[in-house]
Structure 1
Amino acid sequence: MWKSVRQYRQDPAWYGYRKWESADWYRQFGRPAYPFGAQRNYTRHVLQGQVRGYEATLFHLAAVCRASQHGTYYYSVAVLTLLGHLPDTAVTLGRLVYSLNTDPLPPRAGPPVYLPPRRKPRMIMCSVDHAFAKSVVTERVVRMTAEAKMGWRLHENQMIGWIHDYKPFDRVVGLAETMADIVGEFPADVWS
């Protein structure tokens, strides 16, 4: 892990590195919502650069949900800045978020639904715009998400993706590349 951090810090393609961020920094990601904790969040190793033409921010997140050691969940997170704003939508493996005790999206999104029922692994989807979700959350997108063992969420002009535990940055860059592939699956008319 530390070799990975050092390698990417020294790579000129990744132009921004910070060891941690303040609590206010999370507001830009629409928290509280997946994958952020309801009580506190801590970041380590924030890295900025580009992935497949998108501005990307990568970091390690400790999401605190309860005041106990077992109430902290660890994720590797990638954030892509998209070309425009899209409706708040989330698609994730269920086991990545069951213990967070966090609503996936604002209350107007309604309750999360399973994609499809009895699917293995269990996938959860939630959106504030059901017509939009139906057009972008295709079977291929769900399969790509499940195969990558990840969750992703749209917030304004950002796509936030996460995987379990602190991973070396080459794995987090791989997460960002999968997210770019998922965005590539979106129909062209969602941007208008």
Structure 2
Amino acid sequence: MWRVKKSIRTYREDPAWHHYQKNAPAKWVNQFGVPGHPFGDRSNLARHVLEGQVRGYPATLFHLASVRRGGRYGTDVNMYSVAVLTLPTALPDTSVSVGTLVYGLRSAPLPPQAGTPVHLPPGRRPRMSKCSVDPAFAELVITENVIRRTAEAKAGWRLHGHHMIGWISERRPYEKIVGLAEAMTAILGEFPASVWTGNTGD
């Protein structure tokens, strides 16, 4: 925990990161497509929100307490570290994740729900899950390289409008969340140029 606190002190005083907010308003996370993963269906608390840039993309980093219905006491809380990149164009709602990051959420990956998530071939380690509102788009972008990069980052990511939302487990120092954001830019770099122009060859 001291690493997280030290990281917060360091980054909020770094002029390269132009805005820090200890607690975001309750509805602030709604812009990212709640209750899609990794957000809860009961409530969400975003803390230590940091804004700046990562490899040319406007980036927002924060810690998330995701609260969902269920569990022994009526609710379960999952803790995540989240990075959000703002994209130059809106893309179809799509999600890819290491399975262990989403199975506990027991909720639909996308808002609105886009059918049942597909579990990638048995025997793959770690187990992975994917889902998209646009199967043709998903076929273009969810390549073996994209799956591998997601697995190596031990992360999940989701496209929602002009945002790419990525998450890893637990509260992590900003250095780890920046690393997640960098992994997300590498994943975006695997997307074919046609997805940015809208010319996806229907």
Q: Same fold (TM over 0.5)?
A: yes
Which of 153, 160, 163 is the equivalent residue of 2:168? 163
Which position in structure 1 is the counterpart of 2:129? 124
1:116 offset after TM fit, Å?
2.3
Within a 5 Å distance, the mapping from 1:10-89 to structure 2 comes to 10-66=13-69, 68=73, 71-89=76-94
Which string of whole-angstrom CA distances, capped at 9 and with x for unpartnered residues, describes residues 19-66 of structure 1? 011121111001110000110111110000000000000000000113
Change (3 A) 1:9 1:36: same
1:188 to 179, 190, 193: 193
Asked if structure 2 preserves the Cα contact closer than 8 Å seen for 1:152 and 1:162, the reply is yes
Identity %: 60
Paired residues, number? 192
Contact 2:8 2:48 in 1 (8 A): yes
Secondary structure at the aligned position of 1:146 is classed as helix
Q: Is the Cα–Cα contact under 8 Å of residues 34 and 111 in structure 2 kept in the other structure?
A: no
> Does the Cα contact within 8 Å between 1:66 and 1:72 map onto a contact in 2?
no
CA-CA distance at 1:117 after TM superposition: 3.0
Provide TM-score, normalisation by structure 2. 0.92
TM-superposed CA distance for 1:134, in Å, is 0.6
CA RMSD of aligned residues (A): 1.3
String of CA shifts for 1:133-172, please: whole Å, max 9, x gaps: 0100000100000011000000001000000000000000
**5+ unaligned residues in a row in structure 1: which ranges?**
none
Higher strand share: 2
The letter for the 2-side match of 1:80 is L
Measure the CA separation in 1 of the matches of 2:90 and 2:48: 27
Does structure 1 residue 7 correspond to structure 2 residue 10?
A: yes
Where 2:27 maps in the other structure, the secondary structure is helix
> After the TM superposition, which of the residue ranges 155-164 and 69-78 deviates more from structure 2?
69-78
Alpha carbons 1:89, 1:155 under 8 Å: kept: yes
Question: TM-score by structure 1 length?
Answer: 0.96
- Out of 120, 128, 131, the position equivalent to 1:115 is 120
Tell me the equivalent position of 1:143: 148
The answer to whether the 8 Å contact 2:29/2:46 transfers is: no
